[in-house]
Amino acid sequence: MVTTSRLAVVSGGATGIGREIATAFAAQGDRVVIIGRRAGLLHQAGRDINRAAGAELVIPVGADLTDPAQVQRAADRIAEFGTVDVLVNNAGAIITPPAGDGLDALAASWRRDLDINLITAVLLTHALLSHLTRPGGRLIMISSAAAQRGGAGTHSAGSYAAAKAALHGWALGLARQLGRDGITVNVLAPGYIQDTGIFRGQDTPDFVATKIADTLVGRPGTPADVAAAVTYIASAGAGYLTGQIIGLNGGAVLGR
């Protein structure tokens, strides 16, 4: 069947921000591949989004994106659907603190954070690079305001901020490399976004109040805010936007 819709790939697409991004693409008629490790959640998200869109647009592809072999298998599967118009590297998480006080435990925690928040994006992007639409492809990294302002001082927050910051320099290099092919590369760095589960029960009323007080608009962000920004960056109208770190944080981190 011939289709004129685009093909978008969203990593970490089963829950939270990734699921909302996938929902937004499907709502505008795009086909969407969602990638995740947890098969049950992944397939349930696909069913729910398809039901809301009124069409079979979402394709779940299971993979642990820290595993190169699984990434390659996922990329080979995705290639069966045609060229990739939009790749959103959204997969990521804040890793639990080191299991002990020694350097071995610290190194293991930091390596795991780098794997989940940086290496996943590097591997998936590299595996799909030859499949990106030229010209007109859109490559989007989901980072964090933590990359711009630093972590909160704990080991886990520090490694998360460092891993997300590493996305920035890498993405800017990709923007230079791929611009001649008509592919844009941008980083979206959200601030505090509610209803994502990323803080794993740490979001007490005091925690949330502190995050909101940090903003200039007096409210937390939502997954829908992130999805709206992503769909703009991915749009045909954003063809002159590339090589940028875009803050989406309600003014908690001012532009620079």
**Is residue 192 annotated as a catalytic residue, yes or no?**
no
Q: List the structure tokens of 241.
A: 């936007």
CA angle in degrees (0–180, nearest 5) for 139-145-149? 130
Contacts of residue 229, defined as CB under 8 A and 6 or more positions apart, other chains included, come to 188, 246, 248
What's the N-to-C CA distance of the chain in angstroms?
47
SS3 132: strand
Place of tokens 């001082």: 153
- Residues 127-161 as b/e (b if ≥16 CB within 10 A, e otherwise) read bbbebbbeebbbbbbbbbbbbbbebeeebbbbbbb
Token pair for 158: 């520090």
Q: Nearest to residue 185, comparing CAs of 98, 113, 128, 245? A: 245
CA distance 30 to 141: 19
Which amino acid belongs to residue 194? Q
Please provide residue 184's backbone torsions phi and psi, each rounded to the nearest 5 degrees: -95, 150
Which among 160, 192, 232, 240 is annotated as catalytic? 160
Quick one: tokens of 127? 């595996």
Q: How many alpha carbons lie under 13 Å from residue 193 in its C-beta half-sphere?
A: 24
Q: Hey, which residues are catalytic here?
A: 160
